[in-house]
């Protein structure tokens, strides 16, 4: 499995899955969440409303993940995960790691071979970008080493970062 970090826009990634740093309502927001909802079009919001109506009436808890179609995105699917909010006192590293791990598991369940992650919880949720980068890379590497990749699983994990400073933290974590 190849793991890379690039500077770019997660909404234009040619991968099977893009991961949305969602809020628990799944109904859109700012940052990555707002950008993905805007780029995917109204079908994404409708799909998220249906998830809330049927499977997740109380919202998606932090550390969990759920999939929808990608709609107008180049990616076939969007996997939504809710990161812990540092400002709200959610400072549990295993919960942050769970965002990446659960997203990978959902992606494998969809049959995906490539996935693009943002820096979950590093934006408005206030986590230090170095901690997010180290936790994300460690989680993906641990998952990769404990998962048989011979069965056509995930071949590419791409961290897509919007700013040079966040990209530098992910590159350092990968080094």
Residue from 9, 14, 33, 92 carrying the catalytic annotation:
33
Query: What does the angle CA 79 – CA 117 – CA 31 come to, to the nearest 5 degrees?
Result: 85
**Rounded distance, CA 25 to CA 168, Å?**
31
Question: Helix, strand, or coil here: 113?
Answer: coil
Residue 14 is among the residues annotated as catalytic for this protein: no
Nearest to 164 by CA among 24, 13, 39, 8: 8
Contacts of 40 (CB under 8 A, 6+ apart): 11, 70, 71, 72, 73, 78
Residues tagged active-site: 33
């Amino acid at each position: 499995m190849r793991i890379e970090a690039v500077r770019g826009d997660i909404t234009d990634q040619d991968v099977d899955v893009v991961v949305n740093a969602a809020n628990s309502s799944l109904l859109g927001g700012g940052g990555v969440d707002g950008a993905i909802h805007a780029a995917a079009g109204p079908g994404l919001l409708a799909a998220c409303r249906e998830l809330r109506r049927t499977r997740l009436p109380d919202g998606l808890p932090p550390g969990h993940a759920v999939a929808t179609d990608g709609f107008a995105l180049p990616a076939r699917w969007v996997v939504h995960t809710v990161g812990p909010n540092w400002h709200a006192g959610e400072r549990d590293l295993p919960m942050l790691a769970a965002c990446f791990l659960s997203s990978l598991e959902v992606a494998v369940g969809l049959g995906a071979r490539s996935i693009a992650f943002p820096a979950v919880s590093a934006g408005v949720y206030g986590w230090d970008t170095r901690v997010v980068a180290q936790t994300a890379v460690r989680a993906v590497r641990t998952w990769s080493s404990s998962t048989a990749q011979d069965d056509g699983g995930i071949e590419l994990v791409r961290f897509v970062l919007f700013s040079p400073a966040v990209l530098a933290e992910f590159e350092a974590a990968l080094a």
